Amino acid sequence: MLTAKGATGRHADLLVRGGTVVTPEKSAQADIACVDGRIVSLDARGWSASEVVKADGLHVLPGVIDTQVHFREPGLEHKENLEAGTRGAVLGGVTAVFEMPNTHPLTLHRADLERKLAAASGRAWCDIAFYIGGSSVNASELGHLETLPGCAGVKVLMGSSFGDLLTDDDTVLRRILAHGRRHVAVHAEDEARLRERRAIVEASGDVRDHPRWRDVESALKATRRIVGMAAEAGRLLHVLHVSTAEEVAFLAAHRSRATVEVLPHHLTLCAPECYERLGTLAQMNPPVRDARHREALWHALREGQVDTLGSDHAPHTQEEKARPYPQPPSGMPGVQTLLPVMLDHVSQGRLSLQRLVELTSAGPARVFGIMGKARIAVGYDADLTLIDLKARREITNRWMASVCGWTPYDGMRVTDWPMATIVRGQVVTRDDAVQGQPVGQPVRFCNKMAITPA
């Protein structure tokens, strides 16, 4: 790709010329003119620009939105931080992220949210929003907290958390659901069952038992509980990282009550092979499971029963991961590899490019009420991800921007690759390199009403 200077006619800050624009409905060639960070025309005839991106042979997607990342700041910067995490995001074609509340301190109050927004200012390469954790200590305030600028919504952890962020009591869950209007994002694992079954892995010390410990019933029991309570409260849910065939079937019957997220890890990796090859680097919660569950997730995705793809980017150091199982923390990096891995699935015919766009832009916008993003249309933010469907690359640890410095996909060869990332009309990456300065701003949301599932 080349840039050039223009000097005549109507003047734009940026023109993206010659690319094939992809929407959830169709693909068509179009030129995109951008002024003051927004799209002003899809017909660039007669326009000049301060910068021109020649996108001939490339496909132009609405900027990819990753609605589940853990950037570990404040308190855990030895694993990740806001600058490195967002730099990895844009290198992978992601233009906006939603960051989780399990930092030190936890994100539970207005001051916690404002501290994170201040930390991201001038350091985030992509646009960003932060979840508020739903807890017994702030349940009555959540209706207000979820409307604050830069708040992605409320996140509830029914298992696999600590302190005030662990919310496994039904009384507290009902209080949380009673306060607010937006979707509540839920990590659904039954904490009591997980505690009962931990002896399995304490005895075996074998990471291949991770999905046996955190079994189907642990996930399904929690999902059933929270969906039932949400129905009583008249509240909508967004169930994160669904990993089992049984959850898929249950949630398909409750589409009016809950939207669904799946992860590239659960669509790509498979037990027991991933544990034998990667050891504890494949350890995450909920676990990577066997082929039966993976195929059920793919079926749900193709049938329109999945609303968003998130990475659940959750990095830990290789030293932490090298501890004897079950001591290592669960989680793996993923924001930088979300699009390359899913584009490889596109190249192999597992899903269409239009469906991928739906899951990474239109779906997140609909579920979370995102304003001004996720469409290539006049008036919308000029967030664009340019990809080469013919490019062949290898994902490596060396490519990773994350502080943790590794990926479970090290050595994986993929077809299709993000070639440039544009955030509100500013080219922030081109040809695997960042350029300029971090330009991220808080994502804006519509807080007036809940957004119903499709």
Amino acid at 284: M
Phi, psi of 124 (to 5 degrees): -85, 125
Q: Which residues pair with 153 in a beta bridge?
A: 131
Separation in Å, CA 336 to CA 11, 314, 316, 339, 384:
34, 12, 15, 7, 16
Opening angle at CA 351, ends 346 and 352, nearest 5: 80
Decide the pairing of beta strands 237-239 and 184-187.
parallel
- Single out the catalytic residue among 31, 209, 307, 312: 312
Answer yes or no: 307 catalytic.
no
Q: CB burial class (10 A; 0-12, 13-18, 19+) of residue 28? A: exposed
Q: Rounded distance, CA 93 to CA 419, Å?
A: 8
Q: Rounded distance, CA 6 to CA 170, Å?
A: 62
Judge contact between 190 and 309, C-beta under 8 A: no
Structure tokens at 318: 């290789």
Judge contact between 155 and 132, C-beta under 8 A: yes
By annotation, the residues acting in catalysis are: 312
